[in-house]
Amino acid sequence: MKKILVANRGEIALRIMRTIRKMGIKSVAVYSEADRHSPHVLFADEAVCIGPPPSNQSYLNGEKIIEVSKALGVDGIHPGYGFLSENAAFAQKVTDAGIEFIGPTPEAMRVMGSKLAAKESVKKYNIPMVPGIDRAIEDVNEAIDVANRIGYPVLIKASAGGGGKGMRIVEKADDMQEQMERAISEAKSSFGDGSVFIEKYVTSPRHIEVQVVADKYGNVIHGLERECSIQRRHQKVIEETPSAIVTPEMRERIGEAAVKVAKSCNYVSTGTVEFLVDDKLNFYFLEMNTRLQVEHPVSEMIIGLDLVEQQIRIARGEQLAVTQEDIISNGHAIELRVYAEDPLNNFLPSIGTLTKYERPVGEGIRVDDGYEEGMTIPIYYDPMIAKLVVHGKTRTEAIQKMLQAIREYKIEGVATTLPFGTFVFEHDAFFSGKFDTHFVKNYYTPEKIREKQKANAEIASLVALKYWQERKKMLGPVDHKSTSWKRRLAH
Amino acid sequence: MAETIKTYKVKANDFVFSFDQAAIDAADFIKKSGEEFNLICENRSVNARLLESDSTGKKLKLEIEGESFELEIKDELDQMLDSMGFSTASTKHIKEIKAPMPGLVLDIAVKEGQEVKEGDRILILEAMKMENSILIQSNAVIKRIAVTPGQAVDKNQVLVELE
């Protein structure tokens, strides 16, 4: 491959292009009219504007992207995450155009894109799954039968769902009828597919996922786990590896399960198998994400592999150069997603201009971002500014390094999730590792951040008064009003 | 005339504190350099850095533990001037609803001339793939709708005018 087009924007486009350049390959950026000043456009060897700001007219315009690729003689397209990354039809069109799609096959995307098809696919591999029913149901009585068998509370889920949409918790049989109807209607309107299924609701769940890497020759390895339980709005904010609760024995079993899931759909490239872990450390297959994950840097830091480089090598037909035995966990890595969101106001988007933007620097600190000081955060896309990733020899060291890095990260002009990060990393539940996906609900209130801000504001006020009074003392004679009055009289 | 100033008010970002001279004297303050200070207050040792200061030293910007604070000191004279009538009345009648953030107007839930009650949804503003309901804070009658669905609006742009 001599030239790769990155069909994405922001931090991930820049991160992918850095690896492309490192490998001696030319990079092509595509951008919308809102992104002319973006670092990914400035960094690329070639850049093409593909349309107006809304993503359905630019970054989601697969036809246009393929057209640009053909015109510029591109031999590979990297989709990043989001946008077209899990769009099987796009991957198919890229392949049909004679261009290498740097990612899994359209078929693997199709299977894993449907939760029910995914369950069907992994069935014969003995992968633990949350107790429930693995086919679409509509009949309320059948739903009640299933719920009686597996025990309440149960979860109604949309087969095509994601991001918490179309999910409903049912506590008792009386509520089943209404919740089923609403879940089906929500699934239809959100995903165009009304099929729902039922599983046992795991009450204190942790979200643990396993990185997998597979070449085109059936070699599949796993790159250990990532703990992603700290979420807001069912979306991850903090990820770490290794998980504080996974034992070496469990790591081996969950890793093997992930490899089997990847094999079940003849997976190629990097992917992630997500599991739900209950309070007794039982793990259950949730779904497979057929793309490079946002949080891949934490894995890169402890296994020492550049996952984008692996994707490109796999796409150009190379065999995996590492075996499972080569994957050894080195230290501890944590990521904080820095979103332009206000943690004091329900994590609502905080849009504006970055009047100040200074990154923390230091050994073991990595910042993947797509902004510079003075840039405005566009309203059209995901509000993530950066991923702040740290590596330490131990979990404690990594947490301390993260707290220090947050202090040194200077962002002004918009509210960010940085203070939320400080809250989590200083919290006993996080420090002890005893937390689940309900962390925000159980422990977080904006008042706690406000109290701390108030204490610092009071100290700042005292410093200001001290400084002012000392300065007045020093400047005493000059400040003397009668003196200046006399001078004026003398004229 | 201001020989015995007793209390000071300090605005720090959106907080306001009052201190008397005794409280100021109780804190131990040293200068490490022209811009770097250390303060010990109730046994807590805190480092601060001066980012900006105006010529009077009463308006300044300080950084503490990575957080920056805009500060404004008001002595008794300043406080007196404030109380003499430059403060704004807080019971203003709301005349319009402005966009709290830039975004795209998705759906407008009201019509011109419609009576709305506190907490009613006026419209949905989409920003960064998230839909935000804009609600009204008091009972009112819609006079004019200043935007159309699909329109991009800037922060503080008027969305609807009220009677």
Q: Which two tokens stand for residue A164?
A: 């918490």
The pLDDT tens digits of the residues spanning A238-259 come to 999 999 999 999 999 999 999 9
Q: B102 and A472 in contact by Cβ < 8 A?
A: no
Identify the closest residue of chain B to A351 by CA–CA distance.
B101
A110 noted as active-site residue: no
Measured between alpha carbons, how far is A407 from A358 in angstroms, rounded to an integer? 11
3-state SS, residue B132: strand
Measured between alpha carbons, how far is A435 from A223 in angstroms, rounded to an integer? 23
CB atoms within 10 A of CB A427: 16
Measured between alpha carbons, how far is A83 from A57 in angstroms, rounded to an integer? 12
Query: How many angstroms from the chain centroid is the CA of residue A36?
Result: 24
Query: pLDDT truncated to tens, each residue of chain B (163 aa)?
Result: 444 557 999 999 989 999 999 999 999 999 999 999 999 999 999 999 999 999 888 999 999 988 999 999 998 888 887 777 654 444 456 788 888 888 889 889 899 999 988 878 888 888 776 777 788 878 889 999 999 998 989 888 899 998 8
Distance of residue A322 Cα from the nearest chain B Cα, in angstroms: 39
- Give me the interface pTM, i.e. the ipTM: 0.72
The pLDDT tens digits of the residues spanning A268-314 come to 999 999 999 999 999 999 999 999 999 999 999 999 999 999 999 99
**What is the per-residue pLDDT for A336?**
98
Q: Which two tokens stand for residue B106?
A: 């998705």
Is B124 near chain A, with CB under 8 Å?
Answer: no
Torsion of CA A216, A221, A223, A228, to 10 degrees: 80
Enumerate residues 6+ apart whose C-beta is below 8 A from A56. none
Is A383 near chain B, with CB under 8 Å?
Answer: yes
Is A423 near chain B, with CB under 8 Å?
Answer: no
Q: A468 and B101 in contact by Cβ < 8 A?
A: no
Of B31, B64, B101, the CB nearest to A460: B64
Measured between alpha carbons, how far is A403 from A237 in angstroms, rounded to an integer? 15
Which residues does chain B have within 8 Å of residue A350's beta carbon, measured at their own beta carbons? 101
The pLDDT tens digits of the residues spanning B96-113 come to 888 888 888 988 989 999
Measured between alpha carbons, how far is A397 from A391 in angstroms, rounded to an integer? 8
The pLDDT tens digits of the residues spanning A78-90 come to 999 999 999 999 9
Distance of residue B113 Cα from the nearest chain A Cα, in angstroms: 30
Which listed residue (A168, A226, A251, A291) is catalytic?
A291
The listed CATH number (1.10.3720.10, 3.40.50.720, 1.10.10.10, 2.40.50.100) that belongs to domain B93-162 = 2.40.50.100
**What is the per-residue pLDDT for A480?**
44
Is B32 near chain A, with CB under 8 Å?
Answer: no
Is A467 near chain B, with CB under 8 Å?
Answer: yes
Measured between alpha carbons, how far is B108 from B133 in angstroms, rounded to an integer? 10
Answer yes or no: is pLDDT of A54 > 60. Answer: yes
β-strand A3-6 against A76-78: which pairing, if any?
parallel
Cβ-in-10-Å burial (0-12, 13-18, 19+) of B148 comes to exposed
Query: Residue-wise over A165-197: b if at least 16 C-beta within 10 A, else e?
Result: ebbbebeeeeebeebbeebbebbbebbebbbbb
Closest by CA position to A347, among listed A408, A418, A430? A418
Query: For chain B, what percent of residues have pLDDT higher than 70?
Result: 91
**What is the per-residue pLDDT for A241?**
98
**What is the per-residue pLDDT for A221?**
98
The pLDDT tens digits of the residues spanning A401-449 come to 999 999 999 999 999 999 999 999 999 999 999 999 999 999 999 999 9
**What is the per-residue pLDDT for A483?**
45
Which residues does chain A have within 8 Å of residue B34's beta carbon, measured at their own beta carbons? none
Match 């089997």 to its residue by tokens. Answer: A260
Enumerate residues 6+ apart whose C-beta is below 8 A from A32. A9, A49, A50, A51, A52, A53, A54, A55, A57, A58, A59, A380
Which residues does chain A have within 8 Å of residue B23's beta carbon, measured at their own beta carbons? 462
The model carries a pTM of 0.83
Identify the closest residue of chain A to B132 by CA–CA distance.
A348
Match 């959106």 to its residue by tokens. Answer: B14
Instruction: Give the pLDDT band (50/70/90) at residue A188.
Output: confident
Strand partners, B124: B107, B133
Sequence ranges of the domains in chain B: 7-77, 93-162
Q: B155 and A462 in contact by Cβ < 8 A?
A: no
